[in-house]
Chains A and B, each alone.
Chain A
């Protein structure tokens, strides 16, 4: 069987080389296109496992549509996923990319590109090994674990997390971000993930303040750890009902900024309160969301927008594009 390749579509030669070096270590052949048209032409002859595209190429509606076309074509050709890179000079393209509703993996980066984020994303996709916050943390980092068995435990668990993060010497800013992210993800898992036998989200509209006993399947796992680079907060439910389109719609929400309203606000706020939000989806089985908060840099050295990934686990034996 021919080894699958990786296709990079990027107009900047220096970035091409950086990405090529980073992804070359996966052992896959790396092909390069200078623009979207060339990328589409190459896709006619290649079946890459991964396509990496420059988000800055979406600088107008026509180009945005072409990126969408390239992503669709890559999927048809069997690509596991398309990863979009967005450099610090192209942050303005973010709303257009989100509106596309097709960008499932976005890495926002300073230059030079963070090799670790790129490599982790690529390896997860190539190996089809998606779950676990360990992948984002340095070797030896301890992950603390708690299971929610009642809805009202959320406040207590978030309070305990805040105390521990503070005890680790992290700043008030990091503690505050951690509290918000954990609270939103737990609330989402308790109320929005569960479905009844008919497939209805029966807890979605219940008052959040009401007590809820969680049975074995409804219990939520919270894990968190810090390796002095990232504070990782991982929340897992056992329903796997959160889907790609709901996530992308939540991330693209404009009314959060204007009115703060609407469904999906919890995810939108969590996304805006961390540096990288990772969704690992096993439909019908589990949803794992990992929020990464970069604890190394002061606000003045952080990017103004965050990265995200939406990974979907496919059933074994299914070689069709997801």
Chain B
């Protein structure tokens, strides 16, 4: 079931089945800390694939959301976390809270054709590999060649080692 999207400044929010789908920019108007009130069965599941950027005020609000979730004993699950959010999770430890990241986007580049792409990694299926800082192999959607991970794994995957 999908509810009508709600607009909060530069961000939109819609409930799709058991999760909240966020899109756009997380800033001072996002009021994320209120999302804990929409948790279902003790779980707050956020689909973040369409988030384009988060500013410092959005980061503060994100941290408040994580703190409220911890206080309320909610399990926070982050799905399809985009690169701009991964950078914040890596840069600011407090943004991680107790959340579980089940999937996230990561940068890959194709040596053969030069294409750069942000590709989705299933953090659960690839958990063993990710602990070893070994990015899963990906195929270039344009030329079919194997793509190379386009960042330092120890830097990009650091948010997984809370």
Give B118's nearest chain A residue, CB to CB.
A172
- A317 interfacial contact with B, CB 8 Å: no
Is the CB–CB distance between A180 and B55 below 8 Å? yes
Contact of B53 among A180, A266, A272, A299 (CB under 8 A): A180
Contact check: which of B25, B94, B107, B155 meets A259 at CB < 8 Å? B94
CB–CB B9/A299 < 8 A: no
Within 8 A of B (CB), among A111-156: 155
- Is A176 among interface residues, defined by CB-CB distance under 8 A? yes
Stretch at the interface among B15-23, B57-65, B71-79: B57-65
Give A109 Cβ to nearest chain B Cβ, in Å. 18
Query: How far apart are the CA atoms of A187 and B28 in the complex, in Å?
Result: 11
Known: A155-B9, A180-B55, A300-B152. A260 touches B94 (CB 8 A): yes
The answer to whether A209 and B28 have CB atoms under 8 Å apart is yes
B110 to chain A, nearest CB (A): 12
How many contacts between A and B, using CB within 8 angstroms?
A: 86
**With A258-B93, A266-B56, A272-B91 as given contacts, are A155 and B28 in contact (CB-CB < 8 Å)?**
no
Q: How large is the interface on B (under 10, 10 to 19, 20 to 34, 35 or more residues)?
A: 20 to 34
Contact B55 A256 (CB under 8 A): no
Number of interface residues of A (CB under 8 A): 30
In the complex, residue of chain A having the shortest beta-carbon distance to the beta carbon of B153 = A300
On chain B, the residues within 8 Å of A272 by CB distance are 91
CB distance from A272 to the nearest CB of B (A): 6
**Does A14 lie at the interface of the complex (its beta carbon under 8 Å from any beta carbon of B)?**
no
A183-B9 contact, Cβ under 8 Å, with A155-B27, A208-B28: no
Report Cα–Cα, A304/B53, bound state, in Å.
21
* Assembled-state Cα–Cα distance A63/B10 (Å): 48
Binding site for B on A (CB under 8 A): 155, 159, 162, 171-173, 176, 179-180, 183-184, 187, 207-209, 256-261, 265-266, 269, 272-273, 298-300, 304
